[in-house]
Structure 1
Amino acid sequence: MVGLLVVSHSEKAAAGIVEIAAEMASDVSLVAVGGDPDGGIGTDADAIAAGLAEADDGDGVVVLVDLGSATMNAELAVEMADTEAVLADAPVLEGTVNAAVHAAGSKATLDSTLDAAEEARGMTKL
């Protein structure tokens, strides 16, 4: 099954997004990584790399990020890791929920789960 990794500058934000997505797809491997090594606001490439390994069930990982340096550190972590992973160009909450619901399906692939996450870019709320 394709796993999902949520990367945020805030540990609480990443955990909250995973909590919401897990309500929709409890069988999917959902991992949250957030904050800097000292517990503050920021991101850490080593923690992201560890999150990739944790999220990987063998079919790869879709990574969803919140802001600037999260993207940079996630890209670095993907290069460092042995896990097949792709970054989604998607809003982090909506993209995570879309991807989780899709990944729960028996025919989900890494590419199709990435597509499901990125479909959230066009969602309207009203």
Structure 2
Amino acid sequence: MAEKVGIIIISHSYQIGEGVKALIDQVMDDVPLALACGTEDNEIGTSIEKIQTAIDQATGANGAIIFYDLGSAKMNAEIAIELAGISHLQIAAGVPIVEGAYVAAVESNIGKSLEEIMTSLEKWKVESM
């Protein structure tokens, strides 16, 4: 079976990230999924190092999609992507973290491409994110 598109969750809260992962894990377990949630001490915040590790864990040949909760998480994701130098990573800007990550995981699980999943996520966008 072909490699699946990875899912990366960036949240300021360790517990939020674990909750999204638990939701996805209840329905599928073979989609690459990595968390970068909280600071190094799992306090509120984000960590570029955690994001880089998550990128390494979840990004295969078919790429990965990054979901985030707040604007500074997006900024740190952009920095981590630039440092990684990987072209097949997409940030799901404006897409709610729970709904978006779940939809992307389901579509990855059935073999959709990075581009197909990003197109599906367009309808979930919220302008204020």
* Runs of 4 or more consecutive aligned structure 1 residues displaced over 6 Å after TM superposition: none
Query: The residue matched to 1:24 in structure 2 has which SS?
Result: coil
Give the Cα–Cα distance (whole angstroms) in 1 for the partners of residues 92 and 10 of structure 2. 11
> Percent same amino acid among aligned pairs?
31
Identify unmatched segments of 5+ residues in structure 1. none
1:120: Cα distance to partner? 2.6
**What is aligned with 1:112?**
116
Question: What is the number of residues matched between the two proteins?
Answer: 121
Identify unmatched segments of 5+ residues in structure 2. none
What is the TM-score of this pair, normalised by structure 2? 0.86
Task: Give 1:5-20 correspondences, 5 Å limit.
Answer: 5-20=8-23
C-alpha root-mean-square deviation of aligned residues, in Å?
Answer: 1.5
Which of 98, 103, 108 matches 2:103? 98
1:32: Cα distance to partner? 1.3
Give the Cα–Cα distance (whole angstroms) in 1 for the partners of residues 46 and 101 of structure 2. 18
What is the TM-score of this pair, normalised by structure 1? 0.88
Residue deviations 1:64-104 (CA, integer Å, cap 9, x gap): 00001101001111111143211002000000010000001
